[in-house]
Amino acid sequence: MGTALARAAQWTAAGSGTGTLEITPLNESLLNQIITFAEDFSTRHPQEAAFVFREPLEWKTQLGFSVFGEGYDINGATVQSEAKGKDDQPLLLLTGSTLRVRSFDQLSCLLQIAMEKKLKEAQACLEANRDPIVKILGPEYGTVEGEDTSMLHLLDKVKKDDDPETEIKMKIFLLLHQLDLQLLNSSLKHISQDVRLNPAAINNEVNLLKNFSGKGEETVLESLEYTSDYTFSNGCRAPPWRQVHGEICYLVIKPHDTDPLYITCSTAGVFLNGGELKGKDDIDYERKSYVYKDIVTFLRERSPRFVENMAKQEYNFFKEPTYEKNYQRMEVVDAKVPGQSQNLYDFTEKNVCEKVKSSAARRRSIDKKKLEPSMKWKNTGLCASHSDKAAKKDTEEEGRSSAVSLKIKKKASGISSESVKIQPASKCKASGRFEDVSESSSETEEDEEQPIRHQEGNTDLPSEYWGIQKLAKYLKGGNPTATVIALCSMRDFNLAQETCQLAIRDIGCLEVLINLLDTEEIKCQIGSLKILKEISQNTLIRHAIADLGGLQIMVKILDSPDKDLKCLAAETIANVARFKRARRTVRQHGGIKRLVGLLECISVGSTSLTLYQAKDTEIARCGALALWSCSKSIKNKEAIRKAGGIPLLARWLKCSHANILTPVVGTLQECASEPSYRLAIRTEGMIENLVKNLSSEHEELQMHCASAIFKCAEDKETRDLVRQHGGLQPLSVLLGNSENKRLLAAVTGAIWKCAISGENVSKFREYKAVEALVGLLIDQPEEVLVNVVGALGECCQEPINRTIIRKCGGIPPLVKLLTGTDQALLVNVTKAVGACATEPENMMIIDRLDGVRLLWSLLKNPNPDVQASAAWAICPCIENAKDAGEMVRSFVGGLELIVNLLKSKNKEVLASVCAAITNIAKDEENLAVITDHGVVPLLSKLANTNNDKLRRHLAEAISQCCMWGSNRVTFGETKAVAPLVRYLKSNDPSVHRATAQALYQLSEDPNNCITMHENGVVKLLLAMVGSTDEALQEAAAGCIANIRRLALATEKAKYG
């Protein structure tokens, strides 16, 4: 078990604490196997279960003393077992929250007592006892690297003396060793599914990077070289004794901004090794970092300069398409400033499409020149916006030149005008930088690029604009005291107003504010951050802050000992990181780990906070806000998990302060799209707190809790937990709040997913949720309707709910929704209409409203999910409609349409269409029509399938189609009989029944009987004659009878 924990289990460090087991599917699987082993140990091995451990297994438990019953003595907060060892000490002792267990017997009992908390208890036990064998048997049995000789020593000891305890130790050691092997094998199954690297892939990546590398500031790397020039026949460069470990080659990489990196490329991925060994012609092969999927990913995490230069290099290696019509034309005004050179920008033809020249004749803002910037110019932000008269006037009053540059010189300390270079004209924001292709494609870009705002004249400028402009000169050129006063004065303006925000950007104050963050003056940093926090609500300002490197400085500030500074930095990051590039910057500069660190606080759960605790809580709130913004990226979600963020978020979820609960739950619901987070939310006991906060007075908190439940309720265990913790009633109550559409969408989504479980549907009926859902079918946005209709479709599992929907007038609006265009809504509404159609009274209303025709028309929809859902819904409509045959024939081209769907590649579409054909073929005239449309050869082509769902409905369709003309013979000729025989080997009883009925019908043809007999059908059917399923019995017996009759007739004809 020690080996499996050391090598297979996945560990992390939460904040600054000790290593903890990550909540991952692999770890959960390992823990469940260990729990099963420990639970069954006392019954399978009673003698070994009584063995007293050398030292007790000790850990912090979540179990209270009240869970212990018979067999335990409870004295206040102390619990001890009645069973005791030879030293008269209890085999189980609980003191406060510390639990000590000294035998497998007690361990088994404890896990049974723990019930749903057993997974958490096992996790806590193993985290506190990393090598439990040492505690159980002694240090001589500990897990060791290399050759383990403890088994040999034990055998010698058993031979030398007859001590029964030694023999028991031997048995326990063997059992634990067997468990270890089982855990390692289990982990191998998970690991084997990972993508493996090969020499060719690594060589291609190295060659690609070499094209970008070399001397010069613009290259991505200075150099990249193999440590060995010799290549083995398998493509590897690693020595043979390292190839057995999966290692392929070793590289020395020299980035521009770090020391040389020595890396190992293996089949498992890329990682940092120990580098060259001093005095030896060899390297230290030990892994020193995480394992990354490829070299580029490794370098992205290690070298910010690599990321920057890679983006620049892409322009030179990819041909730029002409997309000028998709971009706005940019107005460029050239302003001559005293002391400035004649040319503002002196770009060559190679870099930009047009040269922008400056002259005195073009000083006024009304003289404008329209330029179409090139793709490269647009994407790097190297375009100038106009400088209005006010800015020029102020610049002339200052009487000093301002350097126009995108590279802002940072102040080391102090705030003198000589050390800060300001750009008076506003910069054009980058409109389309290359984004990281590995970022989530499903991310919603909240901050799409918007048109640049231009002030067309001085008459439209409000007084605030001039006020901020006057403050600018004190901010740019004053001493620290003057700067602080200027910052305080600037905060007196209404910074939420767009005019003030853009004034700060246009006159060059934004660069100064960011420069101030890089000083040692705390007051200046705080003042600057307070302004940046306010103005970063603006989309343009957010992008400008990211362009000017503000995020990198804010991430560094998170390490500051000043708590106010950390709070402001985290809040500003939360505002800026609302677009993809900013989120990536935060991660690449170590921001995620620092933000997770802000969540560490001792005041979690306290009702009355001291001033010190309140400040810690405020820091955690700001950290959670920033993590919430960053968590919209898949890579950031993974980074939060690896940084130990999940247990910290779980701790804060238990507090009662809504101001921190909202960002914490917001982060969790954002991350709940990932399976590992859903598992953690369930196992960390967060569902109970999410349910509790559904009854909060704050609607935003309620919305995020409902949204988290919506995403997590994909798993049955979570749906059961929501019910057990009483979450279904508050969800039903919240349906009454129809004004808040975002809350309503989250609540209806949670109800939809929870209603997948039948037990929850019964509860929803008790709480009158079905009636409330029907009331929401009218005048609601599509995101609400999708969830409402989905919930109604699941509630139709119970016949009484189908009646309730009809009585509440829900069928007409459902049928009306069949005319919509939203694909997700169509999938759900067809399912709901189909479920309602199983009641004859409902079917009459659907038929009267022309609902079946609408369903049939959805078979033309290009979306396979809509096609399949519509076909499934048609089945109960045909079954329960009066004169169904005539109704189906009335749809012009309808039968040909459904037969042609048998050519689909989608298994669900094929299964649903086969089910529909089964019902259509019950009418003889319709069967004749679909036979003419070629249904028999199309069904025969599908016979060679391994999908049991398709097999069942295909067999039923073949059985029904045999009722017309020579279809039985045609099925035999089109090779459909032999594959059907193989269906009888399936494990699904419904497949057996449908197949036996199809074979019975096909056996009416002598040639089919011969084919069946040759494929061994008789032996398979004989076993099914004794089935408890009467339909299967009858069909199997009938088929065997037909084969036997043919055999008798053949013998009679042959021998007379």
Measuring CA to CA, how many Å separate 122 from each of 111, 115, 116, 183, 919? 8, 12, 11, 15, 53
**Torsion from C-alpha of 771, 772, 777, 782, nearest 10 degrees:** -140
Give 686-734 pLDDT, tens digit per residue: 999 999 999 999 999 999 999 999 999 999 999 999 999 999 999 999 9
Per-residue model confidence (pLDDT) at position 287: 82
Distance of CA 839 to the CA centre of its chain: 39
> Mean pLDDT, to the nearest integer, of 925-944?
94
Helical ranges in 577-685 per DSSP H: 580-588, 591-597, 611-630, 634-642, 645-652, 658-671, 675-683
**Confidence band (pLDDT; 50, 70, 90) for 1041?**
very high
**Confidence band (pLDDT; 50, 70, 90) for 610?**
low
Per-residue model confidence (pLDDT) at position 872: 95
Contact (Cβ atoms closer than 8 angstroms) between residue 336 and residue 289? no
> Mean pLDDT, to the nearest integer, of 205-232?
89
| E strand or H helix that includes residue 54 | strand 52-60
Give 145-195 pLDDT, tens digit per residue: 555 555 566 666 655 666 677 788 888 888 888 888 888 887 777 666 666
Provide the total of helices (H) and of strands (E) in the chain, helices listed first: 55, 15
**Confidence band (pLDDT; 50, 70, 90) for 464?**
confident
DSSP symbol at 435:
P
SS3 869: helix
Per-residue model confidence (pLDDT) at position 156: 64
pLDDT: is 393 or 656 the higher one?
Answer: 656
Is 89 exposed, middle or buried (CB count within 10 Å of its CB: 0-12, 13-18, 19+)?
middle
CA–CA separation, 714 and 706 (whole Å): 13
Contact (Cβ atoms closer than 8 angstroms) between residue 313 and residue 218? yes
CA–CA separation, 727 and 247 (whole Å): 51
Does 531 score more than 60 pLDDT?
A: yes
Per-residue model confidence (pLDDT) at position 670: 93
> Mean pLDDT, to the nearest integer, of 402-408?
31
DSSP symbol at 695:
G
pLDDT: is 582 or 413 the higher one?
Answer: 582
Per-residue model confidence (pLDDT) at position 25: 67
Please report, as a single letter, which amino acid is at residue 122: A
What mean pLDDT value characterizes the chain? 81
CA–CA separation, 944 and 962 (whole Å): 19
Per-residue model confidence (pLDDT) at position 27: 79
CA–CA separation, 881 and 325 (whole Å): 56
Kindly report which listed range (393-397, 749-753, 767-771, 885-889) carries the lowest average pLDDT score: 393-397
**Confidence band (pLDDT; 50, 70, 90) for 133?**
confident
CA–CA separation, 110 and 112 (whole Å): 5
Sign of CA pseudo-dihedral 301, 303, 305, 309: negative
Residue 564 corresponds to which tokens in the numbers above?
């106010």
pLDDT: is 392 or 816 the higher one?
Answer: 816
Count of residues in the chain: 1056
Measuring CA to CA, how many Å separate 249 from each of 228, 272, 285, 303, 864? 8, 12, 11, 21, 46
Residue 658 corresponds to which tokens in the numbers above?
């809504």
Per-residue model confidence (pLDDT) at position 81: 92
> Mean pLDDT, to the nearest integer, of 655-682?
91
Bridge pairing between strands 92-95 and 78-81: antiparallel
pLDDT: is 555 or 281 the higher one?
Answer: 555
Please report, as a single letter, which amino acid is at residue 493: F
Please report, as a single letter, which amino acid is at residue 729: Q
| Phi and psi torsions of 683, nearest 5° | -80, -25
> Mean pLDDT, to the nearest integer, of 890-919?
93
Residue 1043 corresponds to which tokens in the numbers above?
């084969």
**Confidence band (pLDDT; 50, 70, 90) for 386?**
very low
CA–CA separation, 580 and 440 (whole Å): 9
Does 381 score more than 60 pLDDT?
A: no
Sign of CA pseudo-dihedral 296, 299, 301, 303: negative
Distance of CA 301 to the CA centre of its chain: 21
CA–CA separation, 136 and 169 (whole Å): 9
Please report, as a single letter, which amino acid is at residue 917: I
Inter-residue long-range contacts of 300-306, CB under 8 Å, 24+ positions, other chains counted: 300/436, 300/588, 301/588, 302/255, 302/258, 302/261, 303/255, 303/256, 303/257, 303/258, 304/257, 304/552, 304/588, 304/589, 305/255, 305/256, 305/257, 306/220, 306/221, 306/255, 306/256, 306/257
| Other CB atoms within 10 Å distance of the CB of residue 401 | 14
CA–CA separation, 1035 and 351 (whole Å): 80
List the beta bridge partners of residue 94.
Answer: 79, 99
Residue 189 corresponds to which tokens in the numbers above?
């199954």
Residue with tokens 């038929």, as numbered in its chain: 847
Single pTM value for the model: 0.61
Helical ranges in 446-497 per DSSP H: 463-477, 480-491
Give 359-378 pLDDT, tens digit per residue: 333 333 333 333 333 333 33
